[in-house]
Amino acid sequence: MHPRANLSALLFAVVTTLAAYGFAADATAPAHVMLAPDDLKWGPGSPMLPPGSKSVVLYGDPAKPGLFIIRASLPGGYQIPAHSHPSDETVTVLSGTFLMGMGDKLDPAKATQLPEGGFAMMPAGANHFAIAKTAAVVQVAAMGPLQFNYVNPKDDPRNAAK
């Protein structure tokens, strides 16, 4: 076979493969998401959290594998006892003053104050706690499915109903 024929055959195979992949990728691409604050549909917080919070899912599904992004609105004085998650968790403070700390017990003296614009990353399996010093809105991004593993089972709100 002539060298140009080999090159032409190879080029045809590469272009065909790339075109097929491109069409397949377009068929499964997620829809874009653009939300103004008034578009957000707030609801009760997760039953894994103490009562009193509100939340909204911005992206993904916290109950399924994959990236999710949620916002949580917390009243002043709201506390989330020591717990961990099976994946890294990032928290960005959008409004208010939010405290986070590391350890097996909620201890305000060991918490770091995060003002509006503050950011925290809690590694998978690391015990941590949170306190809304004032009313606060935080944005959380993590890989699902979302799980809360409370250090003290008595702190788990799901056990209160039992």
Position 2 confidence tier, pLDDT thresholds 50, 70, 90: low
The CA distance from 4 to 24, in Å, is: 30
Same domain, 1 and 81: no
Q: Phi and psi at residue 134, in whole multiples of 5°?
A: -120, 175
Same domain, 53 and 120: yes
Q: What is the pLDDT of residue 23?
A: 40
Same domain, 134 and 77: yes
> b/e string for 96-120 if b means 16 or more Cβ within 10 A?
bbbbbbbeeebeeeebeebeeebeb
Tokens matching residue 30: 């997620």
The CA distance from 89 to 133, in Å, is: 20
State mean pLDDT over 35-54.
94
Of 14 and 30, the structure prediction assigns the larger pLDDT to 30
Q: What is the H or E stretch that residue 13 is in?
A: helix 3-28
Position 148 confidence tier, pLDDT thresholds 50, 70, 90: very high
Same domain, 17 and 94: no
Q: What is the pLDDT of residue 12?
A: 42
Same domain, 17 and 67: no
Domain of 52, CATH number, reads: 2.60.120.10
Q: Count CB neighbours of 45 within 10 A.
A: 21
Same domain, 93 and 152: yes
Same domain, 107 and 151: yes
State mean pLDDT over 131-151.
97
The CA distance from 67 to 98, in Å, is: 23
Dump pLDDT digits (tens) for 94-139: 999 999 999 999 999 999 999 999 999 999 999 999 999 999 999 9
Same domain, 13 and 92: no
Q: Phi and psi at residue 100, in whole multiples of 5°?
A: -135, 145
- Total domain count, the chain: 2
**Cβ-Cβ contacts under 8 Å for 152 (sequence gap 6 or more):** 81, 82, 105
Same domain, 20 and 79: no
Q: Which domain holds residue 88?
A: 37-160
The CA distance from 155 to 149, in Å, is: 10
Of 57 and 1, the structure prediction assigns the larger pLDDT to 57
Same domain, 102 and 26: no
Taking 60 as the threshold, does the pLDDT of residue 1 lie above it? no
Same domain, 57 and 42: yes
| Average pLDDT taken over every residue of the chain | 87
Percent of the chain with pLDDT over 90: 77
Same domain, 69 and 132: yes
Of 128 and 28, the structure prediction assigns the larger pLDDT to 128
